[in-house]
Amino acid sequence: MKSIFLWEARNVCKGDPVAIAELIAAAGFERVDVKAADGTHHFKDWLGNEICTPALVSALHAHGLRVFGWGFNYGWGDGSNPKGEGLVAAEQVRLLGLDGWIFDVEGEITVKDPVGAAQQIIGNFRDKQPDVPAGFCYFSILHNPQAPHFWEWHNQAIIPIFMAGCNFAAPMVYWDLLLSGIPTNPVVTYANQVLAAEGWLTESVKQWRAATDKPLQPVGRAYDHQATPSAVLAFEQTNRALGCQGINWWDLDLAWNNAALWPALTSIPKYGAPPRKFDDLDPAGKFAVLKRTAQKSGEIDAAGNVIGG
């Protein structure tokens, strides 16, 4: 699928669910991954308001988009607990009617017993949600390419545990001109952003194919000056050439109002995921479709009042 992460929905189109859905659908995305949990909690703003709401999910569904939730997983780090992290993910899938879930796992999980934490997160999620699609989002380059048996950059013991319960891996390929575990000891220095995007992705796919035989949906860089339009397009073309089954981008909050970057993301072809059908929508989603159709035909105004009635 052609997908994009959404972190703070209130920062895009002033938080208007319909406008956000129209923006994403018009850009040719097939799925959007909305942050719905942080650790053991629903993801909320500083006022305590939910960020991923039923209204947002319904609007996205009404525009034919698949909607995955995602949550940041700390394991035992930062006072969290992995059992609760798995359970809140399953709960949000149920409450919001999500099509799937992505586990965002980074260095915090290594604070204490990463293997045990991984087992609890994915195990408790699958106890409650045995069939919903799920992805494992983790680091892109797992070990030093020149010394794979002696220099591990990121914990690899948790990969088979998460992948046993996930349908795909989503390595975070946020390329840089320097490919290195330690800045003072570079492995490769690339001449430009295009070569960096291609090189990072090629090495990432190589390492991840050695770690899992499940599909890969790499996450590309769609933020700051290193995500040039040419680098973004080269990354996507390399992704297809390497046989990856989908692509994702971090993230909508930062990319949508970038005058140079957004057109490049929009021009990327879809990966062929079937759109959601009208009969698949929940009642709120069906109502949104019918309302939008009536507005376009001039039967009702923006407030829902019958014109000429």
Question: For 18-49, how does the pLDDT look when each residue is reduced to its tens digit (9 = 90+)?
Answer: 999 999 999 999 999 999 999 999 998 877 88
Contact call for residues 132 and 96 (beta carbons, < 8 A): no
Q: Confidence band (pLDDT; 50, 70, 90) for 164? A: very high
289 pLDDT above the threshold of 60: no
CATH code, residues 3-276:
3.20.20.80
3-class DSSP state of 197: helix
Contact call for residues 38 and 88 (beta carbons, < 8 A): no
Max alpha carbon distance in the chain (Å)? 76
Question: For 193-207, how does the pLDDT look when each residue is reduced to its tens digit (9 = 90+)?
Answer: 999 999 999 999 999
Summarize the confidence of residues 111-131 as an average pLDDT: 96
Tell me the DSSP string of 61-107.
HHTT-EEEEEEEE-TTGGG--HHHHHHHHHHHHHHHT-SEEEEEE-G
Spell out the domain ranges in the chain.
3-276
Question: For 133-154, how does the pLDDT look when each residue is reduced to its tens digit (9 = 90+)?
Answer: 999 999 999 998 887 777 889 9
93 pLDDT above the threshold of 80: yes
Q: Confidence band (pLDDT; 50, 70, 90) for 295? A: low
Q: What does the pLDDT read at residue 272? A: 82
**Total residues belonging to the chain:** 309
Summarize the confidence of residues 35-64 as an average pLDDT: 93
Of the candidates 35, 38, 32, the one whose C-alpha atom is nearest the C-alpha of residue 59 is 32
Summarize the confidence of residues 210-216 as an average pLDDT: 96
Summarize the confidence of residues 98-120 as an average pLDDT: 96
Q: Which amino acid is at 275?
A: P
Q: What does the pLDDT read at residue 104? A: 98
Q: Confidence band (pLDDT; 50, 70, 90) for 282? A: low
Please give the Cα distance from 137 to 71 (Å, whole number).
10
208 pLDDT above the threshold of 70: yes
